[in-house]
Amino acid sequence: MVSTDRLDQPEVPTNRYEQLVQSVVDYAIYMLDPAGNVVSWNAGAERIKGYRADEIIGQHFSVFFTPRDCVEGRPGQLLRQALEQGVAQDEGWRVRKDGTQFWALAALDVIRDEQGQIVGLAKVTRDITDRRESALQLDAMRAQLFQAQKLEALGQLTGGLAHDFNNLLTIILSSARLAASSQDPERVRRLLEHILDAGQRGTQLTQRLLSFARHQQLNVTRIAPAELIDSTRGLLEHALPSEIVLEQHLQPDVPMIQADAGQLQMVLLNLLFNARDAIEGEGSIRLEVNAVELSGEVEGLHGSFVCFDVQDTGQGIEAKVLPRIFEPFFTTKAFGKGTGLGLSQVYGFAKQSNGAICVISEVGVGTRMSLYLPVAQIGP
């Protein structure tokens, strides 16, 4: 029954397809003869290209191409490719009847009769000017963003350097001032040693920068925490006002850790200077070093770590400020007093060293910063 019906009404599907093709307005759908002349035209073609069917049927499809494409033989190339390979696709500028141009996405497909003879080509063209413009805008925005990120990274690097040098200069200046007014030759000798030490740190810093420029890795070595604390304490002693007491508690036999010693010292100085700045008048800073076993309770870390705690009796950190303290350039200090880079460096260092930094703080009571660093693997 079904097949009889179809034999009785052979025209119906063809008409329906014609109706369908005719009613599509977002795509130009038309046929070319094998020589490239237009033989049919739909509503979408009229809307996109501006020609009515009676104006364009019989004309060669190269009228849709730009003069430059025509000189380069683009229409002929596409036609040949479609006839040889059965299909050709193209994206490029096309010209409307009024001379304006649009960016087209076009496909050319060969149509064959039942004997396999080529009877023509189906051409489907879409105006994707808007899509192309958004893609170009997106590219431009990406390029801008990339440039901004590059500048920001450069700014952070420069600021970070200024910050580290500033910490060292604080030590050098305060030691030099004390030495200048001291009558005790032994004390002057010790102060000069601190100045030398800080100067050497500065040299290491520039060397690190040079190595950064050559894209070298961090200088990770096995470090004995006790030795590191001794040298840091020596650097710090004269940068603390006499009202602030520095207490130190080192668990005996703390295992070796694995990190960049120079950077770790900078990081500890950052934490200690922050603690100093939080204390108005009298107070104390406690530096504690302990071995700890972690099983996920600190930022999901597992294994053996050494924890450096810097605890102060300062003003504490307000709850609304707390989530922002590790952001680069975030500071609550007066203009010229803080760059806001200290803790972002601490954070970056902790992450890069496969450790973590945690903070507990209560306004009016004090702050405790805990830096976790992995214990060095046993071996060479």
Q: Which positions touch Mg ion (CB under 5 A)?
A: 274, 342
Q: Which is nearer to ligand ATP, 278 or 306 (CB)?
A: 278
Nearer to Mg ion, 274 or 367 (CB): 274
In whole angstroms, what is the distance from residue 115 CA to residue 135 CA? 44
Find the distance separating the first CA and the last CA of the chain, reported in whole Å.
88
- Residues with Cβ < 8 Å from 198, sequence gap 6 or more? 168, 169, 171, 172, 175, 235
Q: Which part of the chain contacts ligand ATP (CB under 6 A), choosing from 73-81, 173-181, 220-228, 269-277?
A: 269-277
Round to whole Å and give the CA distance between 24 and 18.
10
Q: Cβ of 345: how many Cβ atoms within 10 Å?
A: 21
Question: Toward ligand ATP, which CB reaches closer, 40 or 313?
Answer: 313
Question: In this chain, which stretch among 97-105, 110-118, 258-266, 317-325 interacts with ligand ATP, using CB under 6 A?
Answer: 317-325
Place of tokens 């003069």: 67
Report the alpha-carbon distance of residue 130 to residue 335 in Å, rounded: 47
CB nearer to ligand ATP: give 126 or 163: 163
Whether the CB-CB separation of 287 and 229 falls below 8 Å is answered with yes
What would the two tokens of residue 349 be?
């260092």
333 binds, among ligand ATP, Mg ion, none (CB under 5 to 8 A by kind): ligand ATP
Does residue 174 interact with ligand ATP by CB under 6 A? no
Q: Which of residues 322-351 bind ligand ATP (CB under 6 A)?
A: 325, 330-333, 338-344
Nearer to ligand ATP, 26 or 243 (CB): 243
On the 0-12 / 13-18 / 19+ scale of CB atoms within 10 A, 134 is: exposed
Contact region with ligand ATP (CB under 6 A), list: 110-118, 143-151, 169-177, 307-315: 307-315
Sheet holding 101-112, edge to edge: 38-40, 27-32, 118-127, 101-112, 87-95
Chosen residue from 42, 263, 313, 367 binding ligand ATP by CB under 6 A: 367
Q: At what angle do helices 261-278 and 185-213 cross, to 10 degrees?
A: 120
Shortest Cβ distance from residue 324 to ligand ATP (Å)? 8
* CA separation for the pair 167, 160 (Å, rounded): 11
Residue of 121, 171, 205, 278 that binds ligand ATP (CB under 6 A) = 278
269 touches ligand ATP by CB under 6 A: no
- Cα–Cα distance measured from residue 229 to residue 252, given in angstroms and rounded to the nearest whole number: 13
258 binds, among ligand ATP, Mg ion, none (CB under 5 to 8 A by kind): none
Which residue's CB is nearer to ligand ATP, number 82 or number 341? 341
Binding part of the chain for ligand ATP, among 20-28, 142-150, 230-238, 312-320 by CB under 6 A, reads: 312-320
Binding site for ligand ATP (CB under 6 A): 163, 270, 274-275, 278, 312, 314-315, 317, 321, 325, 330-333, 338-344, 367
